[in-house]
Structure 1
Amino acid sequence: MTSTIEPGGQPQSPDPDAAFAAPSPRLIATDLDGTLLRRDGTVSRRTVAALADAEAAGIEVFFATGRPARWMGVVAEHLAGHGMAILANGAAVYDLRQDRLAEAFPLAAADALAVARALREAVPGTTYAVERGDGMLRREPDYVTLEPIPDVLCASVDELLADDSGGPLLKLLAKHRTIDPDEFLATALAVAGGHGEITRSSESALLEVSGTGVSKATTLARCCAARGVTAAEVVAFGDMPNDLAMLEWAGTSYAVANAHPHVLAATTRRTASNEDDGVARVIERIIAARRP
């Protein structure tokens, strides 16, 4: 997609409450953090109601996130009629109702190791963690987490990648304490981009590496094809670089007002911020447009 530019040279910011003009969708795909969820990680009542109304109207809702399964409790109680989610930036399809991994598109350990070594040489002080199919995070000792991790899961990145007992390797995480996040991403793409899909969804210097050709877009396309849904029948929402491929693939895409500048530059449609129920506002217009 390309952004629509006003005479002053700035991307347009359409009224988030303007009438919904796109074809009636069959599937809604939405990112979570920074998009559907508020800053405190909660789902607003308005958003809960909008998701339920969409499902009641026959529109399937897919959560497409970089999160692992263990962090999906925040939306698990708001699944309405469906419970499938795209996790780890497309590396996994997860059945939230049955709490099981339905499908995985793993990162090769050799590629992950090549990324880790190249990036650590280019940016000394980089630390690593890995996400596997069993839902457990394994990390290096210096990798700081927001959650308590048993000491038994601490080891060097070489050891973490050599041990496949936790199932398929879904994602390699790279973190740095001081580097600018966008500079970190640009460096990683330059030195190791040929070994996987490297992106970011955090405001900190945290990179996420998936297998080559694996993204939210590729997995969403697979899920849609299995349901007979075309890209033109999908409305997608996002806010960070890891959403770009999905936003470009979907027939209709929205960046929330608080989105990363690269996302705002790559999309033509805007909605309100995550704090102001941007996703819910669009869903409400979609539902209203379907009424006689």
Structure 2
Amino acid sequence: MTSATSPRPRPTAHRRPRLIATDLDGTLLRDDKSVSDRTVSALAAAEEAGIEVFFVTGRPARWMDVVSEHVHGHGLAICANGAAVVDLHSGGKLLEVRPLERETALHVVRTLRREAPGTSFAVELATGFHYEPDYPPFWLDPAATVAPAEKLLSEEEPGSGAPVLKLLAHHRDLTPDGFLALGRAAAGDRASITRSSPSALLEISGLGVSKASTLALCCAERGISADEVVAFGDMPNDIEMLSWAGRSYAMGNAHPDVVAAASGRTVANNDDGVARVIEDLLGSR
């Protein structure tokens, strides 16, 4: 995986599926973050039928314990909205990184501070999570540094710091979709900006980095075409992936824009929507 690609549009014809790409939160996982027995069985059956399963998520590698017991086959996952490819068989070892350049991250910080006063930031490095004092205190890492984003993004020597996987920006007052629109209008020419949280939380990656573009690269390495991929998702950070895959399903609990982007729809995550589609796919074979 050496360069970014622009995922091509969804093909019009379906081919026999060779890969299932599924989001986790709100999609494969139930709201209590568990994986149902039915879903575990469906994933195993897909692998037994020769269909690879990729977990494609906004989560960092260290938060993949929710599915680590259900890894089959290759054990690869795409994390941090496409910024990292990890090996779950080796405890989340980073195999590929598509970083956000620090100068670009600083530009986005300065821009959002100007355009949306009150924005607070966090930085997801390849080595861990760090945040500003005003950033909401969830998913705290014991070793996290608390400091202004400008300090978190600084380096003693150029290139000496760990790769930046994501910049996160939170606003207490703006609506989630309103903040996304503002962020893309203000800085979308410099970085990829999306969201997956029910709060006004933006996830900012390198320009062209997305679940879709990294999945496309992984598939190209395996000789798998877009029309051999079945994808599942529920939030705006899944839209490019659902638009790219030959067959795609929005969950019953999905954001309206996700429903519009997908080629099909299944039931909600709490009702085993992913498992039901996989069972149908295997039955049709």
Q: TM-score, normalised by structure 2?
A: 0.91
Q: Which runs of 5+ in 2 are unaligned?
A: 1-8
Match of residue 23 from structure 1: 15
Distance 2:40 2:143 in 1: 37
How far, CA to CA, are the matches of 1:189 and 1:148 in structure 2? 27
Cα pair 2:239 2:258 within 8 Å, conserved: yes
Question: Partners in 1 of 2:160 and 2:280 — Cα distance?
Answer: 47
Q: How does 1:242-281 map to 2 (within 5 A)?
A: 242-281=237-276
1:47 matched residue in structure 2: 39
Contact 1:24-1:286 within 8 A present in 2 as well = no
Write the distance in 2 (CA, Å) between the matches of 1:145 and 1:238. 26
Matched, 1:171 2:166: yes
Determine helix, strand or coil for the equivalent of 2:231.
strand
Asked if residue 157 in structure 1 is aligned to residue 141 in structure 2, the reply is no
Corresponding residue of 1:119:
112
Q: Which residue of 2 aligns with 1:80?
A: 72
- Cα pair 2:58 2:80 within 8 Å, conserved: yes
* Structure 1 portions without partners, runs of 5+: 3-20
Matched with 1:12 is none
* Secondary structure of the corresponding residue to residue 120 of structure 1: helix
Indicate yes or no: 2:125 matched with 1:132.
yes
2:232 is aligned to 237
Q: Deviations over 1:10-68 (max 9, x none)?
A: xxxxxxxxxxx943200000000111111111111110110011001110000000001
Query: Conserved in 2, the CA contact under 8 Å of 1:133 and 1:166?
Result: no
Give the superposed CA RMSD. Answer: 1.6
User: Match of 2:163, as an amino acid?
Assistant: P
CA contact (8 A) 2:131 2:144 kept: no
Q: Tell whether 2:85 aligns with 1:93.
A: yes
The answer on whether the counterparts of 2:82 and 2:214 sit within 8 Å (CA) in structure 1 is yes
The whole-number CA distance in structure 1 between the counterparts of 2:182 and 2:139 is 27
Contact residue 90 and residue 216 of structure 1 kept, 8 A: yes
> What secondary structure, in the 3-state scheme, does the structure 1 residue paired with 2:50 have?
coil
Q: Percent identical across equivalent pairs?
A: 61
- Answering whether residue 139 of structure 2 is matched by residue 144 of structure 1, we say no
Matches of residues 220-231 of structure 1 in structure 2 within 5 Å?
Answer: 220-231=215-226
Aligned to 1:36: 28
CA contact (8 A) 2:79 2:86 kept: yes
Paired letter, 2:79: L
Task: Specify which of 170, 186, 189 is matched with residue 184 of structure 2.
Answer: 189
Give how far 1:145 is off: 2.8
**In the alignment, which of 90, 103, 106 is matched to residue 110 of structure 1?**
103
User: Deviation per CA, 1:220-253, whole angstroms, max 9, x where unpaired?
Assistant: 0110011111111000001111001111111111
Change (3 A) 1:279 1:152: closer
Does the Cα contact within 8 Å between 2:247 and 2:263 map onto a contact in 1?
Answer: no
Whole-angstrom CA distance in 2 between matches of 1:152 and 1:277 = 35
C-alpha separation in 1, matches of 2:140 and 2:27:
26
For 2:284, the equivalent position in structure 1 comes to: 289
Q: Structure 1 stretches (4+) deviating beyond 6 angstroms?
A: none
Q: Partners in 2 of 1:272 and 1:131 — Cα distance?
A: 32
Secondary structure of the residue aligned to 2:240 is helix
Displacement of 1:151 after TM fit?
6.8
